[in-house]
Amino acid sequence: MRVTVVDDEMFATAAATALLEALPSAAPTLGVATGETPMRVYAELGCRSRRGEVDLSGARVIALDEYVGLDAGDPHSYTAYVRTRIADPLGIPSANVHVPQGDSADPAAAAEVFEQRIADVGGVDVQIAGIGSNGHLAFNEPGSALDSTTRVVELSQQTRHDNARFFGGRVEEVPRQAITQGLATIGRARSILLLAAGRAKADALAAALRGPVAPGVPASVLQRHGDVTVIADRAAWGRMA
Ligand code: PGA
């Protein structure tokens, strides 16, 4: 596991640079997290793209998860996030963008379709991941099986509370379910870039990287992966230092 700890203002630069170094070709398959932490990394990539320093227009993008019940046009959906913050700024055509279908009449079937889609496109080259304050990885909440695959899950109260900031602070508007890649699905990515920023992540990051590999801390499964790079700011790294 490679670790880079940076001052907060260097976080986006360090993460974007690490990502670009890890990408294998001009047409990589990029797994994208859709939380707050990576937003500034995507903004940094967008800047570099506008300046002509990088060209990711040939990339394929695969999301980790999507809320159940939000249609693709809903601004709170991760479909909208991926389009507006990643695909459009980087010039990636919509045919190369894959997000679970959260508004499917049959979310369980949509989850299976998504798991198969990842396999059909040859898997993920580099997966950008965040960590929840409760140790979740994507929407794999504490208690998730380490061998889980893409499925419908119930969101924990902690996660709905944490994500209320994207819903105008109204926790009751945060969906109760999501389709998420499973821990085994995520583990099949060839390389993983784990991003953690802020003091609220310090306990979860330490538990994930130093504690036992166990369903109680889903992100601990990353200890079993052979190619993980962690980019953390000093606050998130606080319990590791
Ligand atoms: P955040 O989310 O980047 O919005 O903090 C990370 C996560 O919950 O996985």
Q: What is the pLDDT of residue 21?
A: 95
Task: Please tell me the distance from the alpha carbon of residue 24 to that of residue 30, in angstroms, as a whole number.
Answer: 10
Give the structural domain span for 174. Answer: 2-233
Tell me, yes or no, whether 94 lies in a domain: yes
**Mean pLDDT across 174-178:** 98
Q: Is residue 241 part of a domain?
A: no
What is the number of other CB atoms lying within 10 angstroms of the CB of residue 105? 7
Digit-coded pLDDT (tens) for 108-117: 999 999 999 9
**Cβ distance 208 to 173 under 8 Å?**
no
Dump pLDDT digits (tens) for 118-168: 999 999 999 999 999 999 999 999 999 999 999 999 999 999 999 999 999
CATH code for position 154: 3.40.50.1360
State how many domains the chain has. Answer: 1
Confidence of residue 35 (pLDDT cuts 50, 70, 90): very high
The answer to whether residue 238 sits within a structural domain is no
Is residue 159 included in any domain, yes or no? yes
CA of 179 to the centre of ligand 1 (A): 16
Taking the CA of residue 133 as reference, the ligand 1 atom at the shortest distance is 8
- pTM, two decimals, is 0.96
The helix/strand/coil state of 230 is strand
Atom of ligand 1 nearest to the CA of 201: 5
Q: In the predicted model, is pLDDT for residue 25 greater than 90?
A: no
For residue 79, what pLDDT is reported? 97
For residue 195, is pLDDT > 90?
yes
Counting atoms of ligand 1 from 1, which one is nearest the CA of 200? 5
pLDDT digits (tens, 9 = 90+) for 177-194: 999 999 999 999 999 999
pLDDT at residue 72 above 90?
Answer: no
Residue of minimum CA distance from atom 8 in ligand 1: 132
pLDDT of residue 241: 80
Q: Whose CA is nearest to atom 2 of ligand 1?
A: 35
The pLDDT of residue 26 is 78
Give catalytic residue positions.
Answer: 65, 134, 136, 141
Residues 207-231 pLDDT 10s: 999 999 999 999 999 999 999 999 9
Is residue 21 one of the residues assigned to a domain?
A: yes
Residue 240 within any structural domain of the chain: no
Q: Please tell me the distance between residue 195's alpha carbon and the centre of ligand 1 in angstroms.
A: 9
pLDDT at 24 over 90: no
Nearest of 214, 215, 195 to residue 205 by alpha carbon: 195
Beta-strand relationship, 151-154 and 177-180: antiparallel
Alpha-helix residue ranges (DSSP H) falling in the chain: 11-22, 39-50, 78-81, 88-90, 107-120, 157-163, 183-187, 202-210
